[in-house]
Amino acid sequence: METGEQKGESPNNADVGILPKGWEKRMSRSTGKAYYYNIYTHKSQWTRPTKAAESPSVRHSSDTEASKIKCSHILVKHKDSRRPSSWKQPVITRSKEEAINLINVFREEIKAGRAKFTDVAEKLSDCSSAKDMGNLGYFSRGKMQKEFENAAFNLSVGELSMPVESDSGIHLILRTA
């Protein structure tokens, strides 16, 4: 990721200088060529941008809450989940009540300081985000299931949710930004 003039670039190259706000210069793994990434829309383009990327907060200045948040989560699926399988288990047979009980145990252990959220997420979450310690990255409204989204957007940074039920299963959400 680069945002300024690159060593070895020709001064005649139109690609010299600092990029407009909201853009990153990246290198394509497949072609080896530079492309430009809009950090707000997550879209890429081959041509160098000439003006600043419009941030979501500018486009939606009437919104009173942040347009993107970052969360990690622990998911415990049950037999009635939308997809009752996971990276750990091809067929999940636990009941919804068992899933809720597990999430409550995880929450108690984390709140008491006997377990770290990232460790529990990595070892015990049924979501594929376990490989990244539960990190879901940044997302805006309309990108997650409604129950999950509402709970996540109502958390303060650093706050751990109560159990949240969605079609995917039972979640424990930690808002990180």
Contact 35, 13 (CB under 8 A): no
6 is catalytic: no
Which listed residue (86, 125, 161, 168) is catalytic?
A: 168
The residue behind tokens 């793994």 is 29
Please confirm, yes or no, whether 171 is among the known catalytic residues.
yes
Residue tagged active-site, from 72, 73, 81, 86: 73
* DSSP H/E element including 154: helix 146-154
Identify the bridge partners of residue 171 per DSSP, sorted by sequence position. 75, 164
Task: Choose, from 55, 67, 140, 145, the residue flagged as catalytic.
Answer: 145
- 45 belongs to the catalytic site: no
**Whether residue 125 lies in the annotated active site:** no
127 catalytically annotated: yes
**Catalytically active residues, by annotation:** 73, 127, 145, 168, 171
